[in-house]
Amino acid sequence: MVSTHPTGVQHSGSQYLPQRHDTKANPSPNQELLPLTAKVHNHDSLEIGGCDVTTLVEQFGSPLYILDEETLRSGCQQYRDSFKQYYKGESQVLYASKAWNCLAVCAIAASEGLGIDVASGGELYTALQAGVNPEKIYLHNNNKSREELIFATEVGCTIVVDNWHELRTLLEIVESANSPSVHPRFLLRLTPGIECHTHEYIRTGQLDSKFGFDPNELEELFTFVSKQSFLNCVGLHAHIGSQIFERQPHRDLAALMVKWLRDAAKYGLKLTELNVGGGLGIKYIESDDPPSIEEWVKPICEVIQEACAAENLPLPKLLCEPGRSLIATACVTAYTIGSSKVIPEIRTYIAIDGGMSDNPRPITYQSVYRAVVANKMSSPLTETVTIAGKHCESGDILIHNALLPKTEPGDILVVMGTGAYNYSMASNYNRLPRPAAVVVANGEANLILQRETYEDLIRQDRLPERLKGASSFGRFIIYGKM
């Protein structure tokens, strides 16, 4: 039976293409299922960034992450321009690079005027190597090592201090440096106690969270910081979670942060920055209805400006740190379909050449995705199948009950919205090499992440001398050849 919309109209993979209307000339990427440049050419083939997806797989192999540069740039521009339009003070958008941190993504975001939010020394190093100005880099996380804090201090990025241990460690580092020029800039991360409807693993604003100073200790915290002449506290940070569609929690957070700003002033702290975090959700499936980027930015700006006016405070530099809403929809993952298994009256499994090692979100967060067959975009959706990964785990299921056309081995399956937390959380489970990634623009594809090889998998392995020779035959076989 041919699948239909509720209206009874037959549909195909083309239904997922970006909807461009006269009233929506510049669509918000987080409200689309496929990248903004996605279209069907030759009646049946999916094209992204002017590149045929099936041809990309032939050239670069699969699984393959395909990043659409135009979609990423559009999201960066919409955040940047919305703050300029609705906020009267200074603003700075930071890309939360934990969503996908690599040289090319950091470079694209920075070229659009964004700073980079990093969550480790490794992400900091990558951003610096991508040419990002350290003055636009902010280091986060809840258990920064002494080495990471020293690294951040030496390069001159801003540190978001999460707890007392980090604060005291940072003070020790500065005092031991014995240099009058070392005054690291930092923000204090506070837990706002604001909850929102999202997966419990990605909620960060509730009081029972591993992140941030408890708001009940603000008096002690502000008193302590005000007495540290070697430290340069410039602002406050808070974050309430990820994949959020509600607008009110962000309004509540903005208002609360201005009150904290007022309270800090009572202790002589002249704070000039407020970072309201990120968290705007994206459209993973048809029923998802997230606000646009502009609809997220506007009320936050309005609340902060009204609250500062009421408290007779100067407008702070306003920062935010979107990740998923910038990068997720900009990327798809292309797989090659292999085996299938039909269990009569129960389900049909379709297996792909990747799975939980390149996208661990379904097995970790029960995340849902949509998929199309790149070489059969105009074919009716006649089958309901379960998309299975190739890993030795029963739970390695990418999509349950996916509507697809009739498929065959060799068809190219494209899973949408995979830019956030796919490559960044990828693993070598079952010793699968991590996939390649390309960025596409104007009909040109450029490799941004090399596909790993079997040799890469053992590059860090070490074989003790006493074990050498025990299986010498196997060590000299490469792809079945001596």
- If you search the block for the tokens 């081995």, which residue do you land on? 409
Separation CA 337–CA 413 (nearest Å): 7
Matching fold, domains 25-68+329-455 and 69-327: no
Strands (E), 174-311: 185-189, 232-237, 273-275
The pLDDT value given to residue 59: 98
Is the Cβ–Cβ distance between 399 and 386 less than 8 Å? yes
Among residues 445, 451, 337, the alpha carbon closest in space to that of 47 is found at 445
Which tokens is 144 given?
Answer: 């920064």
Peptide bond before residue 180 is cis, with ω within 30 degrees of 0:
no
Catalytically annotated residues: 392
Is the Cβ–Cβ distance between 446 and 464 less than 8 Å? no
Summarize pLDDT for 283-310 with one digit per residue, the tens: 999 999 999 999 999 999 999 999 999 9
Q: What is the mean pLDDT of the chain?
A: 91
Is the Cβ–Cβ distance between 236 and 260 less than 8 Å? yes
Domain 69-327 sits in CATH at: 3.20.20.10
Q: Domain map of the chain by residue range?
A: 25-68+329-455, 69-327
| Averaged pLDDT, 137-161 | 96
Among residues 138, 136, 132, 143, the alpha carbon closest in space to that of 105 is found at 132
Q: Is the per-residue pLDDT at 184 higher than 80?
A: yes
Separation CA 180–CA 279 (nearest Å): 38
pLDDT band at 227 (very low <50, low <70, confident <90, very high): very high
The pLDDT value given to residue 204: 45
Give, for 262, the enclosing helix (H) or strand (E).
Answer: helix 248-265
How many CB atoms are closer than 10 A to CB 417? Answer: 29
Contacts of residue 254, Cβ cutoff 8 Å, sequence gap at least 6: 276, 299, 300, 303, 304, 307
Which tokens is 172 given?
Answer: 């020790």
The pLDDT value given to residue 4: 37
Q: Is the per-residue pLDDT at 199 higher than 70?
A: no
Sort strands 444-449 and 436-441 into parallel, antiparallel or unpaired: antiparallel
3-state secondary structure of 78: helix
The pLDDT value given to residue 2: 35
What's the half-sphere exposure (Cβ side, CA atoms, 13 Å) at 179? 9
The pLDDT value given to residue 478: 55
Superfamily covering domain 25-68+329-455: Lyase, Ornithine Decarboxylase; Chain A, domain 1 (2.40.37.10)
The pLDDT value given to residue 230: 85
The pLDDT value given to residue 7: 37
| Averaged pLDDT, 30-54 | 96
Separation CA 116–CA 481 (nearest Å): 46
Strands (E), 36-194: 39-41, 45-48, 51-52, 64-68, 91-96, 115-118, 137-139, 158-161, 185-189
Give, for 388, the enclosing helix (H) or strand (E).
Answer: strand 383-388
3-state secondary structure of 478: strand
pLDDT band at 211 (very low <50, low <70, confident <90, very high): confident
| Averaged pLDDT, 265-282 | 95
pTM given for the model: 0.92
- If you search the block for the tokens 């489970």, which residue do you land on? 429
Q: What single DSSP character describes residue 450?
A: P
